[in-house]
Structure 1
Amino acid sequence: MASSNPANRSSVDLLDSTIPGAFPHAQISTHQTLSQAVYARRAEYTRPRRIRIKVGSWNVAALKGIEKDVGGWFVDGRDVEEAMAGLALEGQQTCGSDERESVKDQEARRTKETTLPWGDPGTVPGGDEIGIYALGLQEVVDVNSPAEALRPYTDPTTANKYKSAIEEVLPEGYRLVAEQQLIGLLILIYASPMMIPEIKSVSTTSVGTGLMGYMGNKGAVTARLILGETTRLVFINSHLGAGADKTALERRNWDVSQITSRTRFDPIADLMGVSQASGEALGEEDFAFWFGDLNYRLEGIPGDDVRRLLTVHTTDSSSASSFADACSQFSTSTADSEVDSMPIPAHMDPASLHTTLSSLLPHDELHQQQKARKAFHDGWQEGPIEFLPTYKYDIGSVGVFDSSEKKRSPSWCDRILYRTRRDKLAYDAKIKEEEEARKKDEEMKARGLEDAGADEDVLFDYNPETDGDEYDDFADAEDEVVVTKEGFEDEMFLEYYTAHQRVLSSDHKPLSAVFALKYDAVVPDLKAHIYQEVARELDRAENEGRPTITLVVDHSATSLTSTEEHSSNFEGVNFGDVKYATPKRRSVTIANTGRVPATISFVDRPAAPGQPEGPAPPWLSIAFDRPPNPPAATPSDTHSVGAKQYTIDPAEVCNVTLTLLISPIPLVRALNEGLASLDDILVLRVEGGRDHFLPVRGNWLQSALGMSIDRLIRIPEGGVRKLQGQKPSGAQPVKWSAPRELFRLTEAVEDSVERAIAEWDMTAGEGDVPPWLSDAAWPFASPQDVHGAENGSDVANEATEEQVFRLRVYEALDTDTPFEKAFEPNTPTRLKLSILAETLVFFLRSLEDGIVTVEMWQLFENGMAAREKAKQQLSPDDGRAWALEILSSAPNHNVSLILITSMLSRILNEIVSASLSSRVDGIGGSMKGTPRSSLDVTAQSPTKGRARRMTLTKNPEAARRWDYATLFAPAMIRAESLGKGREKETRVRDERAVGLIELFLREEETGK
Structure 2
Amino acid sequence: MPSSENDLTAVDDLESRIPGAFPGADSPLVSTHQALSQALYARRTEYTRPRNIRIKVGTWNIAAFKDAEKDIAGWFIGGDGIEKSIGGLGINDEPTESRGARSDKKSSTFPDQEAETIPGNDEIGLYALGLQEVVDITSATEALRPYTDPSTANRIKASLQERLPAGYQLVAEQQLIGLLLLIYAAPSVVPHVQSVSTTSVGTGLMGYMGNKGAVTARLLLGETTRLVFVNCHLAAGADKASVERRNWDAAQIATRTKFTPIPDALGTPQSPHEGIGEEDFAFWFGDLNYRLEGMPGDDVRRLLTVHTRGLDPEPLMSGDLSATAVGSDDISTVNTTSQSSLKTVESEEEASSLPARMDPASVLTTISSLLPHDELHQQQKSGKAFQDGWKEGPIEFLPTYKYDVGKVGVFDSSDKKRCPSWCDRILYRTRAAKLAHDAKVHEREEAKKKDEEMKARGIAEAENDEDVLFDYNPDTDGADDDYDEFDDPEPETVVTKQGFDDEILLEYYTAHQRVLSSDHKPLDAVFALKYDAVIPDLKAHVHQEVVKELDRTENEGRPSITLVVDRSPEKASTGAVSEDTIGFYGVDFEEVRYATPKRRSITIANTGRVPATFGFTNRSMGSEQSKGPLPSWLSARFDREPSSAASDQMSNQYTIEPAEVVNIELTAKIESNELVRELNEGTAHIDDILVLRVQNGRDHFLPIRGHWLQSTFARSIDKLIRIPEGGIRKLQHQKPESDVGVKWSAPRELFRLTEALETLTERTVADWDMTGHEEVKAPWQHNAAWPFTRNLPFTAGKLTETLYTNVYEALDCDKTFDSAFAPDIIPMQRLEVLADVLLRFLQSLEDGVVTKDMWEQLEKGMAAQERSKQQRPPEEERLWVLEILSSVPNHNVSFILLTSMLSRMANEIANVSKTEQTPRSSVELPQSPVSVRRRTLSKIPEVAIRQLISRNYAAVFAGAIIRTPDGAMKDKEQRLREERMSRMLEIFLDEGK
The separation in 2 between residues aligned to 1:475 and 1:370, in whole angstroms, is 21
Aligned to 1:177: 172
Aligned match for 1:364, one of 367, 371, 374: 371
Partner SS state of residue 849, structure 2: coil
Alpha-carbon offset, residue 86 of structure 1: 2.1
3-state DSSP class of the match of 2:895? Answer: helix
Match for residue 962 of structure 2 among 970, 973, 976: 973
Per-residue deviation at 1:855? 3.5
What is the CA deviation profile of residues 13-34 of structure 1, one whole-angstrom value per residue up to 9, with x for unaligned ones?
9997477xxxxxxxxxx65445
CA contact (8 A) 2:172 2:196 kept: no
1:893 corresponding residue in structure 2: 891
1:509 offset after TM fit, Å?
2.3
- Is the contact between residue 558 and residue 576 of structure 1 (CA under 8 Å) also seen in structure 2? no
Shift in Å, 1:808: 0.6
The Cα offsets for residues 383-402 of structure 1, whole Å up to 9 and x where unpaired, read as: 44444443454443323456
**How much does 1:925 deviate?**
11
How far is 1:744 from its partner? Answer: 2.0
Contact 2:230 2:284 in 1 (8 A): yes
Residue 233 of structure 1 is matched in structure 2 by 227
Are the structure 2 counterparts of residues 162 and 862 from structure 1 closer, same or farther at C-alpha, using a change threshold of 3 Å?
closer
Per the TM alignment, residue 856 of structure 1 is displaced from its structure 2 partner at its CA by: 2.5
Over 3 Å counting, the alpha-carbon distance change for 1:563 and 1:741 in structure 2 is farther
CA contact (8 A) 1:576 1:699 kept: yes
Distance 1:767 1:590, change over 3 A: closer
Partner of 1:334: none
Cα deviation, residue 226, structure 1: 1.0
Deviates more, 1:621-630 or 1:645-654: 621-630
Separation in structure 2 between the aligned mates of residue 778 and residue 630 of structure 1, nearest angstrom: 45
The runs of 5 or more residues in structure 1 that have no matched partner are 8-12, 20-29, 89-93, 323-341, 449-458, 794-798
Amino acid at match of 1:236: V
859-868 vs 405-414, which moves further = 405-414
Q: Are the counterparts in 1 of residues 181 and 231 from structure 2 also a CA contact under 8 Å? A: no
Does the C-alpha gap of structure 1 residues 190 and 406 become closer, same or farther in structure 2, counting only changes over 3 Å? same
Give the Cα separation in 1 of the matches to 2:689 and 2:630: 8
Residues matched between the structures, number: 912
Q: What is the letter of the counterpart of residue 419 of structure 1?
A: R
- Taking the TM superposition and a 5 Å limit, the aligned residue runs for 1:603-642 are 603-606=617-620, 608=622, 610-611=624-625, 614-629=628-643
Structure 2 CA distance for partners of 1:687 and 1:397, relative to 1, 3 Å: closer
Q: Distance in 2 between matches of 1:465 and 1:770?
A: 101
AA of the residue aligned to 1:399: G
Amino acid at match of 1:882: W
Instruction: Give the aligned partner of residue 276 of structure 1.
Output: 270
Partner SS for 1:206: strand
Query: What secondary structure sits across from 1:1000 in the alignment?
Result: helix
Report 1:82-481 matches (<5 A). Answer: 82-88=84-90, 94-95=91-92, 102-107=95-100, 111=104, 113=106, 116-121=109-114, 123=116, 124=118, 132-138=126-132, 153-154=144-145, 161=152, 164-165=155-156, 167-171=158-162, 175=170, 177-181=172-176, 186-191=179-184, 198=193, 200-206=195-201, 208=203, 220-228=213-221, 230-238=224-232, 254=247, 258=251, 262-268=255-261, 270=263, 273=267, 276-294=270-288, 313-315=307-309, 348=355, 355-358=362-365, 360-361=367-368, 363-365=370-372, 369=378, 372=381, 374=383, 376=386, 378-401=388-411, 412-425=422-435, 468=480, 476=488, 478-479=490-491
Does the CA-based 8 Å contact 2:175-2:181 persist in structure 1?
yes
Describe the SS at the equivalent of 1:416: strand
In the alignment, is residue 738 of structure 1 matched against residue 746 of structure 2?
A: yes
- Partner SS, residue 899 of structure 2: helix
Aligned position for 1:452: none
Which sits farther off after the overlay, 714-723 or 949-958?
A: 949-958
Q: Does residue 706 in structure 1 map to residue 714 in structure 2?
A: yes
For the Cα contact (< 8 Å) 2:143–2:209, is it kept in 1?
A: no
Partners of 1:296 and 1:598 lie apart in 2 by 67
Report if the CA contact (8 A) 1:701-1:724 is conserved: no
TM-score in terms of structure 2 length: 0.75
Q: Which runs of 5+ in 2 are unaligned?
A: 8-24, 315-348, 460-469
Letter matched to residue 500 of structure 1: H
> Is 702-711 or 48-57 further displaced after alignment?
48-57
User: Given the alignment, which residue of 502, 510, 521 partners 1:509?
Assistant: 521
Instruction: Describe the SS at the equivalent of 1:105.
Output: helix
Specify which structure has the bigger relative contact order, considering alpha-carbon pairs within 8 angstroms and separated by 6 or more residues: 1
Check the 8 A contact 2:148/2:176 in 1, yes or no.
no
Residue type at the aligned position of 2:424: D
**Which residue number corresponds to residue 10 of structure 2?**
none
Residues 488 and 838 from structure 1, CA distance in 2 versus in 1: closer, same or farther, beyond 3 angstroms? same
Query: 1 CA distance for matches of 2:271 and 2:792?
Result: 47
Deviation at 1:649, TM superposition (A): 1.9
Structure 1 segment 735-884 matched on structure 2, within 5 A: 735-753=743-761, 764=771, 774=781, 780-782=787-789, 802-884=800-882
- 1:422-467 per-residue CA deviation (whole Å, 9 max, x = no partner) reads 44445556777899999999999x9x9xxxxxxxxxx9xx999999
Q: Does 1:996 align with 2:989?
A: no
Please say if residues 766 and 925 of structure 1, whose CA atoms lie closer than 8 Å, have aligned partners that are also in contact: no
What's 1:454 paired with? Answer: none
Residues 420 and 347 of structure 1: CA distance in aligned 2, closer, same or farther (over 3 Å): farther
Partners of 1:847 and 1:901 in 2: CA distance: 17
Q: Look up the SS of the partner of 1:509 in the other structure.
A: coil
Shift in Å at residue 752 of structure 1?
A: 3.8
Assess, with a 3 A threshold, how the Cα gap between structure 1 residues 876 and 379 changes in structure 2: closer, same or farther. closer
The residue type equivalent to 2:283 in the other structure is: F
Question: How far, CA to CA, are the matches of 2:590 and 2:394 in structure 1?
Answer: 66
CA contact (8 A) 1:290 1:416 kept: yes
Counterparts of 2:234 and 2:687, CA distance in 1: 53
Q: Could you tell me whether the CA contact under 8 Å between 2:402 and 2:519 is conserved in 1? A: yes
Alignment equivalent of 2:658, drawn from 630, 633, 650: 650
Taking the aligned partners of 2:740 and 2:285, their CA distance within structure 1 comes to: 52
1:589, distance to aligned residue in structure 2 (A): 2.0
Q: Once the two structures are superposed, what CA deviation does each residue of 1:962-1003 show, in whole Å capped at 9, x if it has no partner?
A: 5544543443334599xx9x9776666545444433433445
**Which of 65, 77, 80 in structure 2 is aligned with 1:78?**
80
CA RMSD across the alignment: 5.6
Superposed displacement of residue 223, structure 1: 0.5
Alpha-carbon displacement from aligned partner over 1:777-825 (angstroms, at most 9, x marks no partner): 697231789999xxxx9xxxxx957432222111111222222221234
Distance apart, 1:201 and its partner CA: 4.1
Deviation at 1:676, TM superposition (A): 5.6
Letter in 2 for 1:167: A
Deviations for 1:886-913, whole angstroms, at most 9, x for unmatched residues?
1112212111112223334455666789
Structure 1 residue 142, shift from structure 2 partner: 8.0
How big is each residue's C-alpha offset from its partner over 1:624-682, in whole Å with a ceiling of 9 and x where there is no partner? 32233488xxx9xxx76996443322222222333333345455445445666544444
- Give the match for residue 548 of structure 1: 560
Specify whether residues 734 and 45 from structure 1 end up closer, same or farther in structure 2 by C-alpha distance, changes over 3 A only.
farther
Q: 1:942 aligns with which of 917, 932, 938?
A: 932
Aligned residue in 2 for 1:953: 942
Q: TM-score, normalised by structure 1?
A: 0.74
Residue 497 (structure 1) aligned to one of 485, 509, 518? 509
CA distance in structure 2 between the aligned counterparts of 1:600 and 1:155, rounded to whole angstroms: 52
Preserved contact between residue 134 and residue 190 of structure 1 (Cα < 8 Å) = yes
Q: Aligned partners of 1:252, 1:822: CA distance in 2, in Å?
A: 77
Q: What does the per-residue CA deviation read over 1:321-341, in whole Å, with 9 as the maximum and x for residues that have no partner? A: 89xxxxxxxxxxxxxxxxxxx
